[in-house]
A = this chain, B = another copy of it.
C-alpha cells in the first residue's frame, strides 16, 4: 500500500529503526511485534525485510549506535586537561543532554539490551563494563586529587548513571520542564554530592532515635513477610 517515506536525510532503514525505537520504549522489545512496527509505518510486516535484516538487528543497531556516541564522548573527555570533577560534570551534562535529545533510543540501550542475541549481548555488556570502569577511574583520580570526597568510585559512578537514566521516566510524564532547569538541578545534586569533603558523619548523626525506630519497624515487617 503506502510506501515508506524516508525523512529528509534518513534512509528507509532509519525510518524503521526510529519507529521501532518508539514502540520498543513504549511497549518493550519483546511485546512489540514486527506487525506493530509495520502498522505504525503503514505497511505490511514482510515489507520491512526489504530494508532490515531481522527484529534483533534493529535492537542491535539501536544499542550499539548509542554506545558508540557515549564512548566517543568519553574518549574526548579523558584526553582533556580539566580537573577530574570538571570532567565528571562534563560527562554528566553530556548524558543529560543526550537523554533529552534521544531518550527513546537511550532508554532501549539502558533497559532492553538484555534481549540482544549473542554474540552481541556479550559485546555490549563488555562495552558497558568498560565505560563504567573508565568513569570510575576518573572519579578515583578526583578523589586522590582531593576534588572529590572519599567515596567508593564504583558506587559513585552507578549512582550518577542511574540518576541520569531516570530522566526517561521524567520525559514520559510529559512535563515540559525547561531542559536547562532540569540539567542545572541534577548537576547541582550530583556534583554537590561528590564534592570534597563528603559529610557522612553529619548525615549519620542527624538521624534521631525515634526515626531509627520507625525504620526498624518497617524492616522487621518485611523480613517476617519473607520467611
Contacts and interface: CB of A to CB of B under 8 A. Distances in A.
Interface size class of A (residues with CB under 8 A): 35 or more
Interface stretch (A40-48, A52-60, A116-124, A212-220): A212-220
Interface in A69-118: 69, 72-73, 76-77, 80-83, 85-87, 89-90, 93-94, 97-98, 101-102, 111, 114-115
Contact of A9 (B9, B156, B181, B227): B227
A160 B163 CA distance: 7
A61 interface: no
Given A182-B155, A188-B200, A211 B82 contact: yes
Contact of A89 (B154, B186, B207): B207
Interface string A127-171: 000000000000000000000010110111011111111110110
Given A80-B210, A211-B80, A189 B190 contact: yes
A175 interface: yes
B151 A189 contact: yes
A97 B158 contact: no
Contacts of A30: 28, 30-31
Contacts of A164: 162
Nearest to A169: B158
Given A9-B227, A82-B208, A192 B198 contact: yes
A50 interface: no
